[in-house]
Structure 1
Amino acid sequence: MLMLLTVIIVNYNVKYFLEQCLCSVRKAIGEMTVATGERNVEVYVIDNNSTDGSIEYLQNRFPFVQFIKNSVNQGFSKANNQGIQKAKGKYILFLNPDTILPEDAFTKCIAFMESTADAGALGVPMIDGTGQYLKESKRGFPSLWVSFCKMSGLTRWFPTSKLFARYYLGHLNNQETNKVDILSGAFMMVQKAVLDKTGGFDEQFFMYGEDIDLSYRLQQSGHQNYYFSDCTIIHFKGESTRKDSKYVRLFYKAMVQFVQKHFHGELAWLYTGLLEAVIWLRAAITVVSREHGERTIKYEGTPAFYLAGDDKSGNEVRSVLTTFPNYSIIAIPEDAKEWIFCEGSSYSFKQIIEQLKTCPDWLKPFIHASGTYTIVGSHSKDQRGYAIVME
């Protein structure tokens, strides 16, 4: 049976974040079903040999999802290609497990793709768990000059310059739809017919660089990549990756692979040499070390939360919080530094996303999806997030 959309999610040891993600996917499917009059979305979760019992935890909770468990970690590219081989959708959405979508994500994005003749792929604005805009939502082609500006710090010093900030396309308004070079693999919607021509992800990229490579090949095939500004998602960046020296080496190794694959001529050797030098320089100065996956939260003292949103969902939160030896719920918002946004029938994921955009810097937000016994949050894009769990 031909589907309108196939959603492919590759998971590795982030079952609690994936649970919240799938709750938002279910709501987005529901809204699109109402809009089209039929259920025409299929969802695949490809599990890369997680050791946290992801499939066992999630399978009964989400019967609409088709779970595939790999016996070894195949990497991001190969696992996504497993999903492509099974996909029946006119469009394919590659989605990270540590994301949360608004209810109208599918209807809006597909409507844009249907009405834009030259659109081969689409990405959207992403915010982190504190509401901060993620610059990698749109990127330029990593030419020698663009890469030099990024690695030398010029991009950081001149974040809106058309000359120096092309890596993140800082000269383009974040709130406007534009054609861009590179889309993020955290949320990338692609025409299946286009993928049939270009092929899926290049499996030489185990992690990182695969979205750059695919975006480039989509452009080379004569299609456009669009940054579609009318749909914002949460991406708890880094939940399924790590930001230590190994991450730095993997990232720049992927860039070297990209250069060797697509760059030719007398400057290719210079570009490759520059990237390899940066690998060791960045790895040497990286001092942040993290582990894979989530961590359950531990407090010293008495945590105090303000519950915002749906009352029924808030009662579920109270049940989860009973796992704490001591906690308090604050009635006055201004008195609490930690808010839990409770999604439910009277408070949508879209409302949570819009409110996160206005969060003050001091606020530590968490999110709870109705019907779950989990609360998740990430208070820095460079640190692992937290999961509060009742088990």
Structure 2
Amino acid sequence: MKPLVSIITINYNESEVTLDLLQSIRTLTYPNYEIIVVDNASPNDNPDKIKEKYPEITLIKSKENLGFAGGNNLGVKQAKGDYLLFINNDTIVPKDFIESLVQTLQDDETIGMVSPKIKFHWDPTLIQYAGYTPMSHWTIRNNSIGYHQKDNGDFDAEGETQSIHGAAMMVPKSIVEKVGMMTEIYFLYYEEHDWAEMIKRAGYKIYYQPKSYILHKESVSTGKFSPLKTYYISRNRILFARRNFKPFQLWISLLFQCFVSIPKNSFMFIVKRQNEHLKAFWKAIFWNLKNSATIG
């Protein structure tokens, strides 16, 4: 018997999008999995229709919007699987994408997390993720390897990478039991990078497995460029550094933020007359100042 895989996905006002994912999951060739859908207190959606169309799933209806980490953690608490597969609801999966991920984790118990190759749904010939570069101690940003490049075989080498991609990541349940679940202070963005750092500090590797892939519609919930996204990315970028950088690295990054990043972004939003983004950006800065002693 193959080990049980718990597939966990979050729905927020996107039942139709979630139904598309579940339709693709039904074609999976992997023989042993369960599906957990967490509805994050959708205000303008009826998640019950997901259960009606796919009665085999476990539908958890949260009473409040817990964000990415909180919603997934709610699913973890119900999961029975040996392996936990966290996957965005705005993805489509090919029928054989689970096998290689499970095999990777079974073959090397020092691997704590694995992500597949991620390609764009709107153009499956283009890559979104083929691993990550290290997080810069200046900008507190990393780069997705292969981003917007053709899937021509150049990114087909599996191996250790610096961070995981939250759109699709598989983690052994034993690792979660040792290291803990995702911290919920982020709400949106950077929480998977933070979790990867926790798992690396525990002595495990982060892995990229291109034998598996998914198609990602990207940012359906929050919008590709919304004030909400501006706020959480700006807030959490600094929060990530505060939680994960060593003191000297943190001072470097904070100096860069104060004298380069913050003035540059403010100027950009002013010039483009993006007042809502400017407000969201400064709200993110003030959150970190107000919560200087809080790192989750």
What letter is aligned with 2:89?
Answer: P
Query: Structure 1 residues 280, 89: closer, same or farther in 2, change over 3 A?
Result: farther
Match of 2:265 among 270, 275, 282: 282
* 1:89 match: secondary structure: coil
Corresponding residue for 1:248? 230
Secondary structure of 1:230's partner? strand
Structure-1 residue corresponding to 2:30: 32
SS at match of 1:231: strand
1:131 to 96, 112, 124: 124
Residue equivalent to 1:10: 10
Whether the aligned pair in 2 keeps the contact of 1:98 and 1:237 (CA below 8 Å) is yes
Identity percentage of aligned residues: 24
Aligned-residue offset at 1:144: 1.1
Alignment of 1:152-167 (within 5 A): 167=143
- What SS does the corresponding residue of 1:143 show, helix, strand or coil? coil
Number of residues paired by the alignment? 263
Query: 1:127-206 counterparts in 2 under 5 A?
Result: 127-128=119-120, 129-131=122-124, 133-145=126-138, 147=139, 167-169=143-145, 173-206=154-187
Q: Distance in 2 between matches of 1:24 and 1:225?
A: 26
Please report how far the alpha carbon of residue 52 of structure 1 lies from its aligned counterpart in structure 2 after TM superposition: 3.4
Partners in 1 of 2:172 and 2:156 — Cα distance?
Answer: 24
Out of 241, 248, 265, the position equivalent to 1:259 is: 241
Summarize the Cα distance change of 1:26–1:273 in structure 2 as closer, same or farther, 3 Å threshold: farther
Give 1:100 shift: 0.4
Alpha-carbon contact 1:138-1:180 (below 8 Å) kept: yes
Q: Note if 1:85 corresponds to 2:77.
A: yes
CA contact (8 A) 2:6 2:35 kept: yes
SS in 1 for 2:53: coil
State the Cα distance separating 1:109 from its structure 2 match: 1.6
Aligned partner letter, 1:211: E
Q: Secondary structure at the match of 1:266?
A: helix
Aligned to 1:36: none
Q: CA deviation at 1:278?
A: 2.9
**In the alignment, structure 1 residue 214 sits paired with structure 2 residue 214:** no
Tell me the SS of whatever aligns to 2:135. Answer: coil
Describe the superposition over 1:169-207 as per-residue Cα deviations: whole angstroms up to 9, x where unpaired: 469942211210101111000011011111111111110
Are 2:82 and 2:173, in contact at CA under 8 Å, matched by a contact in 1? yes
Structure 1 residue 141: Cα displacement: 2.8
Report the AA paired with residue 140 of structure 1: T
1:110 to 88, 99, 102: 102
**CA 279–64 in structure 1, closer or farther in 2 if over 3 Å, else same:** farther
Query: Structure 1 residue 273: deviation in Å?
Result: 4.2
TM-score (norm 1): 0.62
1:170 to 1:26, Cα distance in 2 relative to 1, 3 A: closer
What SS does the corresponding residue of 2:248 show, helix, strand or coil? coil
- How many angstroms apart in 2 are the aligned matches of 1:51 and 1:130? 31
Moved over 6 A (4+): none
CA–CA distance in structure 2, aligned partners of residues 279 and 187 of structure 1? 31
Structure 1 residue 137, shift from structure 2 partner: 4.3
Match among 26, 35, 42 for residue 43 of structure 1: 35
Q: Which residue identity does 2:43 align to in structure 1?
A: T
Structure-2 change in CA distance of 1:167 and 1:49 (3 Å): same
What is the alpha-carbon distance in structure 1 between the residues aligned to residue 167 and residue 263 of structure 2? Answer: 27
**Partner residue, 1:120:** 112
- Mark the CA change 1:197 to 1:57 in structure 2 (over 3 Å): closer, same or farther: same
Closer, same or farther: CA 96–55 of 1 in aligned 2, 3 Å: same
Kindly indicate whether the alpha-carbon contact (under 8 Å) linking 2:114 and 2:171 is maintained by their aligned counterparts in 1: yes
Per-residue CA distance 1:86-106 (angstroms, 9 max, x = gap):
111110001100000010011
Rg larger in 1 or in 2?
1
Q: Determine the C-alpha separation between the residues in 1 that align with 2:146 and 2:119.
A: 16
Q: What amino acid sits opposite 2:60 in the alignment? A: I
Q: CA deviation at 1:248?
A: 2.1
Structure 1 counterpart of 2:212, one-letter code: C
- In the TM superposition, what is the alpha-carbon distance from 1:284 to its structure 2 partner? 5.7
Equivalence map 1:368-387=2 (5 Å): none
Aligned CA distance change for structure 1 residues 131 and 280 (closer, same or farther; 3 Å)? farther
8 Å Cα contact 1:94-1:189 kept in structure 2: yes
User: What's the CA shift for 1:241?
Assistant: 1.9
AA at the equivalent of 2:189? Y
Q: Is the Cα contact below 8 Å between 1:249 and 1:279 reproduced in 2?
A: no
| TM-score, normalised via structure 2 length | 0.81
Q: Unaligned 5+ residue runs, structure 2? A: 148-152, 275-296
Gaps of 5+ in 1: 34-39, 151-165, 290-391
Asked if the contact 1:17–1:97 (Cα under 8 Å) also holds between the matched residues in 2, the reply is yes
